[in-house]
Structure 1
Amino acid sequence: MTARGRASTPVFTYDVAISFLWPDRAVAEKIKAGLDDTLSVFLSTREQERLAGQDGLSTFGPIYQSEARLVVTLYRPSYGTTKWTRVEMNAIKSRGLDNGWDFFLLVLLEGPGPKWYESFHLYAPYDGNPSDVLDIIGAIKYKARQQGATLRVLSLDEKAEREAAARDAKVRRLSLIRSTEGMQLAHREVQKLFGFIKTKADAIAKAQHNIRIEVESEGDQLVMRHNRCSIELYWSPLSYNLESGNVLYVREYDGFKALDRGRGSLRGSKLRAEGEIAFDIRDDAPYWNRSKGALDPTRLQTSEQLGEELIERAWKFVPRPQWTHGGPHDPYG
């Protein structure tokens, strides 16, 4: 309290702090990019988490409990089950119970909202559309202003400095991707993806005896077959036609697609769709980038996420006797 008996105005380190599960970092980065010119935003990186070590509670807890004017959570049911999101969630819950929920905005990525956050409070849905991100950015700016934030305007010098920093970061990242270290990391990630697909297919076969996704792999090629359809994955290192340099080609076939084994045999299968997925590195972590020709931080997937999607796609395959548009299309770009 001040000398006149009135509550003092709180001082915040950040206008906005975003809490999220690591696989949802691409969405968080896109939101932050849309806010950086007008608001100060805290977005944790793996480097920050590494430096914090086991002391994350004292390092990150206060940011969400008192140091950020507005807290935004990218929520799905698994939020709060990891070490870092558990710390952040507990800080958010404590603040909400003590001071009310005006400081909080929930972005619903999947499933119902958390039980600790009443449904009548404000939340923003996200279905993966670019327009959803713009709507969320607008909602955050509006709510931040309600909480007393002032939207700033960058000077030309500040804008030029940010653009230069972004260009330098891009050059460093691409250099790492194309380095020997980056190549080795990409190869390990390909094998991780292939291993995940095989394990998932085996689990489906055990749980659903009437469903069998046949998986065969050799070297940098994997083929999934189900219901007279096939999906082929082929990793091509250092494909300079794409910016990243390391590309996973994905092709879908009507019919049985065999492993090439150097012979290029298709056994009567017909190509129906094809796409390219680039290998990417963000904060020293490997990802698959769903953009075609340019790296897009909003379209990143872990190997587990990509494997889940490909398995589901193979599971739902239905042979198509004719092309929809007269030729193969790209569902992966």
Structure 2
Amino acid sequence: MNNTFEYDVAISFGWKDEDMANRLAALLEGRLSVFLYSKKQEKLAGTDGERTFNEVFGAKARLVVVLFREAWGKTPFTRFEETAIRNRAFNEGYDFTVFIPMDEAETQKVPAWLPKNRLYIGLHRWGIEAAAAVIEARFTELGGDVHEETIDDVAAKTARVLALKEKRKAYLNSYEGVIAQRSAYEALKADLLDSAEKLKGTLQSINLQTKVNGSPSGAILLLSNPAAMSVTWNLQYANTLTGSTLEAALWRGHPPWPGSMTFEKPIKLATLQFDPDLLEDGTAGWLLRGKGRPISNRAVLEEIMKLFLTKVQDV
């Protein structure tokens, strides 16, 4: 860390890219000091969000890295970050920024207000290791010194990884873990209902309805014509998360439901399965089967709604 800036790099991202932001930060940490909101929540708790983010992205970080999607700048925190970046650029230009388009489209987009001569990183073409290398090079160009990792630095990083593994193991085999995961599922159900209410106004043609089982681990249904989505939390034991699964399933017809009678047998078309897990910040998360790292409730919500909205038109 230098005497002028509190952070070497600050990473701005939306919920969808939380995993990528964590992976990028892990590659940089030890060589650069990194500000990542998901790892600073305890420090930021109780502070004024707009003021804090203005300070970090507007002055306290030497280099700002943006994981950019169309939704960036439209959520509360990324809106604060965008404002801080643009205000800072008014005086400094955009040399302190690195934009990484996250959409996989052939024509990857960056903000319309970003100068056309600004270079950005093609993550899907070059990979995350190349992105980290470009960030370090850009940081050096701005006058920063990359800290070469010592054996002690590597040992400390290894210790953090091992400690997280032990913490995760203890969490998955504890009553406290069961309670935390149950709370996470209840919050997910509330978010799903909120999303469904918003869709009722924008997609009236699908006649979206909802059903909720009132028990703590009860299922929730998103019903349209002719497709439906069921989300169920299967908790196997009272004191361990072993064998428990969150499943989101897309159906043709009405999914199985207590007291519901249908003339045609429902057909399961697609599923997403999530195992309970622990995020790096110590909060409840979910591991999507086939993926490498746990994701937040918000990311799970987006995965479920994306499956429903992309498939409902094809049923």
Q: Identify the TM-score tier after normalising by the shorter chain.
A: 0.7 to 0.9
Secondary structure of 1:124's aligned partner: coil
C-alpha RMSD over aligned residues: 4.0
The match for 2:265 among 264, 268, 271 is 268
- Distance in 1, matches of 2:263 and 2:225, equals 16
The match for 2:159 among 154, 158, 164 is 164
The answer on 1:19 being equivalent to 2:12 is yes
Q: Deviations over 1:280-311 (max 9, x none)?
A: 4433554433245x8604x5451542442243
Matched-pair contact (CA < 8 Å) for 2:193–2:210? yes
Secondary structure of 2:32's aligned partner: coil
Secondary structure of 1:232's aligned partner: strand
Given the superposition, is the C-alpha separation of residues 180 and 95 from structure 1 closer, same or farther in structure 2, using an over 3 Å criterion?
Answer: same
Correspondence for 2:219: 221
Matched-pair contact (CA < 8 Å) for 1:228–1:255? yes
- Distance in 2, matches of 1:232 and 1:239, equals 22
Q: 1:37, CA displacement in angstroms?
A: 4.5
Correspondence for 1:54: 48
- Distance in 2, matches of 1:233 and 1:99, equals 49
Secondary structure of 1:69's aligned partner: strand
Q: Deviations over 1:10-44 (max 9, x none)?
A: 84443322123455432211111122253332223
Correspondence for 2:139: 144
Q: 1:152, CA displacement in angstroms?
A: 4.2
Q: TM-score, normalised by structure 1?
A: 0.71
Matched-pair contact (CA < 8 Å) for 2:12–2:66? yes
The match for 1:234 among 208, 211, 232 is 232
- Distance in 1, matches of 2:118 and 2:314, equals 40
- Distance in 2, matches of 1:276 and 1:266, equals 28
Given the superposition, is the C-alpha separation of residues 101 and 217 from structure 1 closer, same or farther in structure 2, using an over 3 Å criterion?
Answer: same
Matched-pair contact (CA < 8 Å) for 2:188–2:297? no
Correspondence for 1:305: 302
One-letter code aligned to 2:192: I
Secondary structure of 1:165's aligned partner: helix
Q: 1:73, CA displacement in angstroms?
A: 2.0
Q: Deviations over 1:92-127 (max 9, x none)?
A: 33332222221211223469544543243223356x
Percentage identity across aligned positions?
A: 23
Matched-pair contact (CA < 8 Å) for 1:236–1:246? yes
Q: 1:267, CA displacement in angstroms?
A: 5.4
The answer on 1:40 being equivalent to 2:33 is yes
Matched-pair contact (CA < 8 Å) for 2:27–2:132? yes
Q: TM-score, normalised by structure 2?
A: 0.74
Q: Counterparts of 1:69-218 in structure 2 under 5 Å?
A: 69-80=62-73, 84-109=77-102, 113-124=110-121, 132-176=127-171, 178-218=173-213
The answer on 1:279 being equivalent to 2:281 is no
Q: 1:216, CA displacement in angstroms?
A: 3.2
The match for 1:64 among 35, 54, 57 is 57
Given the superposition, is the C-alpha separation of residues 226 and 89 from structure 1 closer, same or farther in structure 2, using an over 3 Å criterion?
Answer: closer
Given the superposition, is the C-alpha separation of residues 87 and 215 from structure 1 closer, same or farther in structure 2, using an over 3 Å criterion?
Answer: closer
Secondary structure of 1:72's aligned partner: strand
The answer on 1:251 being equivalent to 2:244 is no
Matched-pair contact (CA < 8 Å) for 1:222–1:259? no
Gaps of 5+ in 1: 1-8, 319-333
Given the superposition, is the C-alpha separation of residues 11 and 221 from structure 1 closer, same or farther in structure 2, using an over 3 Å criterion?
Answer: closer
Q: Deviations over 1:241-264 (max 9, x none)?
A: x98764202334455432257x9x
Correspondence for 1:324: none
Matched-pair contact (CA < 8 Å) for 2:11–2:66? yes
- Distance in 2, matches of 1:295 and 1:173, equals 15
